[in-house]
Amino acid sequence: MRGYPTPDDLAIVSYETGLYARDKEDWRTCDSRGLRPLMMDFKPSMELPLSISRSCLVCGAPTTSAHYGVDACRACTVFYRKARKKKPYACRTITRRCIPSKDGTFACKRCRFDRFERILRQSNGRDAEQPSSSSTPHLQIPDDPPSLAVPIDTPRPLQTPTIGRPLLEQCAICYKMLCVVRRNSELNARPNPPHPSKINAGEYEITPSTYTTMNNACRFFVTAILDTSQMLFPELATFTRDEQWTLAVGYYNRIFMLDAVYRAETVFPDDMNKCLGAYTSYMSVDMADQFFDDCPHENSNTAEAKEVLKKFMGTALPSTRKAIHRANLDETEFHAVLILSFWFADCLQMRDEIGQIAERYRQQVLRELQAHYKEDLKLEDYAARIGELFMLIFNFDRSTDVNEQFEIYRLLGVFTDDTFVYRMCSRPAS
């Protein structure tokens, strides 16, 4: 048996009744007259009513309380109050899309804070849409008790000057242009090209790659590399023709598979056995049987070539798709990888002036990438992440694998000395 109710007991009963009323209408506009029968029938021996259990909108844990006008458990509310007063957290996966685990806990503080903020914004939006009535007395329940602390003016810390990203920003422009050139060239080379307005709107079919489309797409890709690389790196205009070709071919062999798999994450997010063999066509093990159907060489051993292609794609595609999916690059990181891939090991075999230019660009892109981590993502420890990017470049450097594949195809007669993809990887520019 309990004694007479204290003011705290009455406050709890009023608060719980307000929560129940919210199921019928906004809890903040609860009619105070609805509380009178409950207060009149309250007896000293009366037990408190059972609380109505809900789920926390932030983490999903059971809760009987509401804070800031939303269903939020005490743990999430305390976390949010403290987090508002601190520097912004960094996302553990750099995606800002972390979700609670099965037991309702959050491993990422940044995403927990963002989720709370998003729920509050949605709640405030609904409150603003609901009409208010001035004729009905309202029971006002404060979200938080008033603070008795006296605010103290503290000096604001000096802001660190931001570092510009001119190289990464220019790379984004050049890569977009590279993609446009590849798309337009490949689609207009089809037997029945789409209407230009449909090409511009992106209304075209991603078809299976074939021998002919691959050979043409490779020519378009390398030509676009030669053009856009001079826009991104003006010093290339002073290089000899052979030096430009060496850099372009080496760059193609390093980023062809990387670009194909990176874009496949958007085009084929649910099929890890596909990649984009060209900008507008895909490759997979299933289409290997038709790949050499348009091979122009009559004496070629296409049957054996199909088996070689199946074996290569059966091992290369799933592993590379998983690597890119696991890395989860943002656009800035992807552009940094493109720049680092261009000024890679090929420069070590060239004259000293080119090596110095390569080193300067590598240092610049790393400075801008570090600024992206520190200023945009609020990361303090990013050395491991930069190491992951370099490992991606090493893993996607398919120069040796591609050359071996091309030599096999030449021995089988599907490639000849005049085949463009074979000639560009085995001979200098002519």
Query: What is the distance between the alpha carbons of residues 147 and 135, in angstroms, rounded to a whole number?
Result: 31
- Predicted confidence pLDDT, tens digits, the chain (430 residues): 445 445 454 444 444 444 444 444 444 444 444 444 444 444 444 444 444 567 888 888 888 777 777 888 888 888 888 888 776 777 766 667 777 765 667 778 888 888 888 888 887 765 544 444 444 333 333 444 443 333 444 444 445 556 789 999 999 999 999 999 999 999 999 999 999 999 999 999 999 999 999 999 999 999 999 999 999 999 999 999 999 998 998 899 889 889 999 999 999 999 998 999 899 999 999 998 899 999 888 888 999 999 999 998 888 888 899 999 999 999 999 999 999 999 986 666 788 899 999 999 999 999 999 999 999 999 888 999 999 999 999 888 765 566 788 889 889 999 888 888 777 765 544 4
Cα–Cα distance list, 63 to 8, 54, 74, 87, 142 (Å): 20, 5, 8, 28, 19
Q: CATH second-level architecture of 166-426?
A: Orthogonal Bundle (1.10)
DSSP assigned state of 94: S
User: Which residues, including other chains, have CB under 8 Å from residue 103's CB and lie 6 or more apart?
Assistant: none
Instruction: Indicate the SS3 state at residue 294.
Output: coil
CA atoms within 13 A on the CB side of 281: 23
DSSP assigned state of 36: H
Instruction: Indicate the SS3 state at residue 260.
Output: helix
Query: What is the distance between the alpha carbons of residues 306 and 286, in angstroms, rounded to a whole number?
Result: 11
Query: What is the distance between the alpha carbons of residues 61 and 386, in angstroms, rounded to a whole number?
Result: 36
Query: What is the distance between the alpha carbons of residues 9 and 108, in angstroms, rounded to a whole number?
Result: 37
Residue pair 182/223 in contact (Cβ under 8 Å)? The answer is no
Q: Is 14 exposed, middle or buried (0-12, 13-18, 19+ CB in 10 A)?
A: middle
Domain ranges for the chain, please list them: 7-128, 166-426
Q: Which two tokens stand for residue 320?
A: 């590379």
CA atoms within 13 A on the CB side of 82: 10
Strands, E assignment, 154-273: 207-208
- How far is CA 385 from its chain centroid? 15
Q: What is the pTM of this model?
A: 0.62
Q: CATH second-level architecture of 7-128?
A: 2-Layer Sandwich (3.30)
Residue pair 74/68 in contact (Cβ under 8 Å)? The answer is no
